[in-house]
Amino acid sequence: MEKRGWKIVTNDITTLMFGIEDASYMAQNIVIAAESLGLGTCYLGSPIWAMDKISKKYNLPKRVVPFVQITIGHPAEDPPSRPRYPMEFTVFEDTYPKELDIDRAMKEMDEGYLGQKYYKNAGFMINPEPLKEEEHTFENYGWTEHISRKLGLWMGDTEEQKALLKERGFDI
């Protein structure tokens, strides 16, 4: 822009949103290409909380934020596809629906994950302590509890996230 005589006026939130869009498109294309070659893939959630460590490890310049991490390789197993939301929760025509049957979607997701013993086989269970006293075992720990624990326990401090972005060169 400088070489063309332009000054950046777009704010950093907009710039980050463009980056998230581009990273999303790129990630999905990588997964589709890898899977077409018979490779397995797995999205990793770590860039959200470890962008500083990832940036240092890969020597990323300022204003480059790792939004997506994907592992790619030859699968050692052939697990079933994970359950997904009912289609009417993710694909809409012309307008977002006024009402969605949330209870049905929760039930389908939990039954699917419990039926596959997904969390039990993987050994994934987020510790809720000290916030909840309700007991969960792998026999009743489904997708909705897992996601609730993620969103109910992790990264609640926006100042921490802003500090990570500021370190990357963004002023939010």
* pLDDT tens track, the chain, 172 positions: 889 999 989 999 999 999 999 999 999 999 999 999 999 999 998 898 899 999 999 999 999 999 999 999 998 888 788 898 888 888 888 988 888 888 999 999 999 999 999 999 988 898 877 656 667 889 999 999 999 988 888 888 889 889 989 999 998 8
User: For residue 128, what pLDDT is reported?
Assistant: 78
H helix runs in the chain, sequence order:
12-36, 47-57, 102-116, 118-122, 143-153, 158-167
Closest alpha carbon to 119 in 151, 142, 135 = 142
What is the pLDDT, as a whole number, of residue 18? 95
Helix (H), strand (E) at residue 40: strand 40-44
The amino acid at 51: M
pLDDT of residue 108: 93
Q: For residue 106, what pLDDT is reported?
A: 93
Of the candidates 39, 94, 112, which has an alpha carbon nearest to the alpha carbon of residue 72?
A: 39
| The predicted structure's pLDDT at residue 70 | 96
The pTM (predicted TM-score) of the whole model is 0.75
Across the strands, what pairs with 40?
73
Burial class (CB in 10 A: 0-12, 13-18, 19+), 124: exposed
CA 137 – CA 133 distance, rounded (Å): 13
Nearest to 74 by CA among 37, 33, 123, 31: 37
* Exposure letters 50-80 (e unless 16+ CB within 10 A, then b): bbeebbeeeeeeeeebbbbeeeeeeeeeeee
Tokens of 136: 């969960």
How would you class 118 by CB atoms within 10 Å of its CB: exposed for 0-12, middle for 13-18, buried for 19 or more?
Answer: buried
